Chain A
Amino acid sequence: MDYSHVNDETLLQLIARSQENALSELYDRYGRLVYSVAMNSLADAERAEEITQDVFVRVWEKAETYRVEQGRVATWLTSITRNRCIDILRHSRARHENLLISWEEAENLDPPSPQNVEWEVDLAQSQRQVRWAVSQLPEEQKQALGLAFFQGLSHPEIAQTLGEPLGTVKTRIRLGMQKLRQLIQAEPQK
């Protein structure tokens, strides 16, 4: 059974009805994204693998809880991934040494498949927009946002980690999010 033309929402409906091939297709689409989020958050390949397994097993068990109003399926998956990673980091109080999140270059996109299916086109368009938007932020805002998003560090923790005043960190996060919001809604530069 070929699910490559099935949209993400229908894939989840099929997973909710215990179609293993549908989960296999969902992994092909988003396994790399989920693993990448976990790796950037934990900087530990073994734990990133565990998190990726947890996320897809959870999808298998909870697919029926997904609602379109919650956002896209990709967003749902990365949100589960991020929350699991931050839980681990907060419980273990472990922070990895690498304080710089690896952002993808704006122009780096996976080559589209020859089938050019709708979900791939949508995902590529979103990636292009967000990568371009992040590339427009000053380095210090990117760094503060990365620590907040991928490690769940609070303002004081980020300030302590970077050796910067608390007020400066708060401003960087706020300005970074404001700019990102404006840029994501804008058209990427050609």
Chain B
Amino acid sequence: MVIEEHATEWLPAYALNILTEEETSKVAEHLASCPACREELRLYQATADEIPLAVKQIAPPPALKGQIMDKIHSRQMKNADSIQPTFWQRLEAILRVRAPALGLALIVLLALGNVLLWRQLNLSKNLAVTPMRVIALANTTDSPQAAGTLIMDQRGEYGTLVVDNLATLDPGKQYQVWLKRDGERVSGGVFSVNSEGYASMEILAPMPLIQYDSVGITIEPAGGSPGPTGAKVLGGDIPH
């Protein structure tokens, strides 16, 4: 095998990773000093990456998903036994499991930033060094009784939304969270409330929450919409 000016002839097979060891090392050596072949290889690798999409689709056995999730769950349980829960895991667990009143009481505590009391409650050793950002959301004429709070970590990266007194919607509808930045909105997730109008959920966003200008909640078809279409029920600015 001799590579003269370029390794063009060998690149398709190199991208498929089917060359012999000797061939592979010669091509790799050439690539190290040839930007043109590196670019050519990138295009072949992108092509090779697409090949699986063309293969005949075969449905896996229905039980397979359950087996995978059981395996994941048991690993999760093992980890939980050996690792102390993080602050956020504790907070989420409390907000999800306890009654709404307790959840709201905790939020009030957070809002007050009463670090000492939190210490007494022994909910987190970390809180003293990581106080959270708490943003109260304003209700609208479509939901005059609704209350909502967004709780973010200190860096504004992650956040949990807690709402109360929102109307229980028809089965075909859900609430959807929107994050707005430079006039563009992305979905932060959908949720439904319980019979008391209460829900809590982790906000899902491609970027840290602090990078968005505002948050809003609208009523959308179940599963959510690509963009807001229904009445806004809660909203607020995210201070930077």
Residue ranges of A at the interface with B (Cβ–Cβ < 8 Å): 1-7, 9-10, 14, 18-20, 23-24, 27-28, 31-33, 35-37, 39-40, 45, 48-49, 52-53, 56-57, 60-61, 71, 74-75, 78-79, 81-82, 86, 101-104, 108, 110, 115-118, 123, 126-127, 129-131, 133-134, 145, 148-150, 152-155, 170, 173-174, 176-178, 180-181, 184
Closest Cβ–Cβ distance, residue B173 to chain A (whole Å)? 13
| Bound Cα distance from A18 to B64, whole angstroms | 20
Select which of A2, A48, A145 is within 8 A of B224 by beta carbon: A2
| Bound Cα distance from A115 to B190, whole angstroms | 13
Contact A173 B16 (CB under 8 A): yes
- How does the 8 Å CB contact mask read for B1-37 relative to A, with 1 for contact and 0 for none? 0000000010011011111100000000000000000
Task: Judge if B58 is at the interface, Cβ distance under 8 Å.
Answer: yes
Q: What residues on B are CB-neighbors of A74 within 8 Å?
A: 53
Residue ranges of B at the interface with A (Cβ–Cβ < 8 Å): 9, 12-13, 15-20, 43-44, 46-61, 64-65, 67-69, 71-73, 75-76, 79, 174, 187, 189-191, 201-202, 204-206, 223-224, 226
Select which of B15, B50, B54, B206 is within 8 A of A104 by beta carbon: B54
| Bound Cα distance from A19 to B48, whole angstroms | 31
Select which of B59, B68, B191 is within 8 A of A1 by beta carbon: B191
| Bound Cα distance from A4 to B56, whole angstroms | 24
Dominant secondary structure at the A interface: helix
Closest Cβ–Cβ distance, residue B20 to chain A (whole Å)? 6
Chain A residue, CB-CB nearest to B176 = A5
